[in-house]
């Protein structure tokens, strides 16, 4: 498994990392200029969000040419230099493969529109129902119907996302062949890592029938058995031939049994899965565009189920709080005020010491948080704009709708990286595509001179490489009913040698009785975000606000 358990992956959203050419948009030469910073973290691989040619209707997840770098991000020569420079510091490249859909600007879609039979079969083209209504009642994940008119024809094409992102018909072997060619092209450039965008929706039901409710609707195109077949085929035809490959599938609304199959080495599908259940614990009635505090007990239950069952089944999780689709975890599960640093460290520990591969989203290591925008004009994401309109249509006032968008918009984490306290946060010399806020306090320069979060992340990353209990250990949760503490044990065998991790998710101190087996044990502190005094666990554990304590007992 090429030491998967020891790896830590950093995510860069290229549009927002560093603008080297003064156009307000980040670029590949900009990333190259910041490699010294990345080197300090000692991560193993970097996942780059898509920088292929794209009209950017969904910020690069609408690919018009899979083989070219979009000029706004640089050239192929820049990319090759990036791979080379990263290799020199022992960091691999993970590319984002958006293979469920392509842009309607893609040559495949254009040829289909021009009537080329071969390419018409690349897409889901269906006629309206006899009554003139759309081919089925599926909804796009970005709002509105999932069908759009196919040029001037009688047909409609399926788009589970934006109308400019046409779903590719994976049932057609020609499509799979073309997509596997794309992966192999990038492998030939020295790429060993691949993140597969919404890969578990590629096996739509053969008959695209109407759904009776939203849950059933998802089941008509999510996690169908054929997805496993396609992944095995993709693995054999591409990265499976590379012993150094690291792959992750973004699995929308998936299940544990499916995730085990997706990520168990003997299944030859992927190395690991991104799942999102733990990031829906602040959705009211399962709806994203709502505002409600997070449900801690639900969060614990989800972590417990996913961690323990994936362990028992031999699957492998990607561990993360943040990415380019999520508002900052610090705003959702931590404290953006008095305990910003302590809560950032607590959240990092909770995931980094679990079983799986941790991902750090750029800016997380300096404690970045949601921007303070005051108007819808500040937001650019198609999803946020659609959601705002839908909330108004549902009868919400402009203020109510805005409050919700503010807490849920994907733009929150897409704000440019704060390098220093300048007007544009040292990201660019000109007005960036999204404006930073709070850079006067939270920025790389400040963090590296007087902050404690970055330093703490460095320690966590180092520990994963040196402690077998972290990289290889099994996991078992305890204190399951405690309303404030999330705790787990990592172990390699039946012996007493264990790593115990305690995290206090709240801004008040707390205390709990330890399970008998851990009482009165001598320990060695692996990491903590407060100064520790004792070297022994008593019958009780007490934790300060957002305190973390990770100890090894024998
Ligand atoms: C998931 C990506 O992370 C997100 O940014 C994108 O909008 C959708 N997939 C569609 O590609």
- What is the distance in A from the centroid of ligand 1 to the CA of 386? 15
Parallel, antiparallel or unpaired: strands 52-53 and 65-69:
antiparallel
What is the CB < 6 Å shell around ligand 1? 58, 61, 98, 161, 197-198, 250, 324-325
Give the count of beta carbons closer than 10 Å to the beta carbon of residue 70: 23
- What pLDDT does residue 534 have? 65
Atom of ligand 1 nearest to the CA of 101: 11
- What is the distance in A from the centroid of ligand 1 to the CA of 490? 33
Return d(Cα 147, Cα 157) in angstroms, integer: 6
Three-state SS sequence of 196-228: ECCHHHCCCCCCCCCCCCHHHHHHCCCCCHHHH
pTM score over 0.75: yes
**Catalytic residue positions, numbered:** 197, 250
Whether 367 and 450 have beta carbons less than 8 Å apart is answered as: no
Provide the 3-class DSSP secondary structure of residue 106: coil
- What is the distance in A from the centroid of ligand 1 to the CA of 98? 8
Which of 61, 98, 99, 166 to mutate to test ligand 1, by most ligand atoms within 8 A of the CB atom?
61
Nearest alpha carbon, ligand 1 atom 3: 325
Which of 51, 98, 104 to mutate to test ligand 1, by most ligand atoms within 8 A of the CB atom?
98
The stretches of 365-490 forming alpha helices (DSSP H) are: 382-393, 398-408, 411-414, 444-450, 453-466, 468-472
Atom of ligand 1 nearest to the CA of 325: 5
| 473-553, CATH topology level | Immunoglobulin-like (2.60.40)
Reading the chain (554 residues) residue by residue, the pLDDT tens digits are 478 999 999 999 999 999 999 999 999 999 999 999 999 999 999 999 999 999 999 999 999 999 999 999 999 999 999 999 999 999 999 999 999 999 999 999 999 999 999 999 999 999 999 999 999 999 999 999 999 999 999 999 999 999 999 999 999 999 999 999 999 999 999 999 999 999 999 999 989 999 999 889 999 999 999 999 999 999 999 999 999 999 999 998 999 999 999 999 999 999 999 999 999 999 999 999 999 999 999 999 999 999 999 999 999 999 999 999 999 999 999 999 999 999 999 999 999 999 999 999 999 999 999 999 999 999 999 999 999 999 999 999 999 999 999 999 999 999 999 999 999 999 999 999 999 999 999 999 999 999 999 999 999 999 999 999 999 999 999 999 999 999 999 999 999 899 999 999 999 999 999 999 999 899 999 999 998 766 777 899 999 999 999 999 98
Tokens (6 digits) for 259: 């995730």
Quick one: which of 92, 86, 56, 57 has its CA closest to 71?
56
Return d(Cα 147, Cα 154) in angstroms, integer: 12
- What pLDDT does residue 536 have? 75
Burial (0-12, 13-18, 19+ Cβ within 10 Å), 37: middle
Return d(Cα 311, Cα 117) in angstroms, integer: 47
Task: Name the DSSP class of 514.
Answer: P
User: 107-167 and 473-553: same fold?
Assistant: no
CATH 3.90.400.10 fits 107-167, yes or no: yes
Nearest alpha carbon, ligand 1 atom 2: 197
The domain segmentation of the chain, as residue ranges, is 107-167, 473-553
- What pLDDT does residue 1 have? 45
CA angle 378, 382, 386 (to 5 degrees): 95
């Amino acid at each position: 498994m090429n030491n998967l358990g020891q790896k830590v992956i950093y995510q860069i959203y290229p549009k927002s990392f560093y603008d080297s050419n003064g156009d307000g948009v980040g670029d590949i030469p900009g990333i190259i200029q910041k490699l010294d910073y990345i080197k300090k973290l000692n991560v193993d691989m970097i996942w780059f969000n898509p920088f292929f040619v794209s009209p950017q209707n969904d910020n690069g997840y609408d690919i018009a040419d899979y083989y070219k770098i979009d000029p706004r991000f640089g050239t192929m020569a820049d990319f090759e230099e990036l791979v080379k420079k990263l290799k020199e510091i022992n960091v691999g490249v993970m590319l984002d493969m958006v293979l469920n859909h392509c842009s309607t600007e893609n040559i495949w879609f254009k040829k289909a529109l021009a009537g080329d039979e071969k390419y018409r079969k690349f897409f889901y083209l269906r006629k309206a129902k006899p009554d003139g209504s759309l081919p089925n009642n599926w909804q796009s994940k970005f709002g509105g119907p999932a069908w759009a008119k196919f040029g001037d024809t009688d047909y409609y094409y399926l788009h589970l996302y934006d109308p400019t992102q046409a779903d590719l018909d994976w049932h057609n072997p020609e499509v799979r062949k073309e997509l596997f060619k794309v992966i192999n092209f990038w492998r030939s450039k020295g790429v060993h890592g691949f993140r597969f965008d919404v890969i578990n929706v590629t096996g739509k039901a053969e008959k695209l029938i109407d759904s009776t409710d939203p849950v059933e609707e998802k089941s008509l195109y999510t996690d169908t058995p054929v997805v496993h077949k396609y992944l095995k085929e993709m693995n054999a035809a591409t990265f499976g031939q590379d012993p150094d490959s690291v792959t992750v599938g973004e699995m929308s609304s998936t299940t544990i049994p499916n995730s085990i199959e997706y990520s168990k080495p003997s299944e030859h599908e992927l190395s690991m899965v991104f799942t999102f259940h733990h990031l829906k614990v602040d959705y009211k009635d399962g709806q994203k565009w709502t505002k409600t505090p997070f449900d801690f007990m639900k969060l614990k239950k989800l972590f417990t189920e996913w961690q323990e069952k994936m362990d028992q089944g031999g699957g492998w999780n990607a561990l993360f709080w943040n990415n380019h689709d999520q508002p900052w975890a610090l705003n959702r599960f931590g404290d953006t005020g008095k305990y910003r640093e302590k809560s950032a460290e607590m959240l990092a520990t909770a995931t980094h010491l679990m079983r799986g591969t941790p991902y750090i989203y750029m800016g997380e290591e300096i404690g970045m948080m949601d921007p303070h925008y005051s108007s819808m004009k500040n937001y650019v994401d198609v999803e946020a704009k659609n959601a705002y309109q839908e909330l108004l249509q549902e009868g919400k006032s402009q203020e109510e709708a805005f409050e919700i968008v503010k807490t849920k918009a994907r733009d929150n984490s897409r704000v440019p990286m704060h390098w220093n306290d300048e007007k544009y946060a040292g990201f660019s010399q000109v007005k960036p595509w999204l404006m930073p806020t709070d850079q006067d306090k939270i920025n790389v320069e400040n963090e590296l001179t007087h902050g404690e979060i970055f330093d703490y992340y460095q320690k966590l990353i180092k520990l994963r490489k040196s402690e077998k209990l972290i990289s290889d250990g099994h996991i078992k949760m305890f204190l399951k009913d405690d309303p404030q503490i999330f705790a787990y044990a990592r172990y390699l065998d039946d012996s007493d040698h264990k790593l115990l991790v305690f995290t206090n998710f709240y801004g008040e101190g707390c205390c709990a009785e330890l399970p008998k087996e851990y009482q009165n044990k001598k320990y060695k502190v692996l990491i903590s975000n407060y100064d520790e005094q004792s070297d022994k666990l008593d019958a009780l554990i007490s934790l300060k606000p957002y305190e973390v304590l990770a100890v090894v007992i024998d």
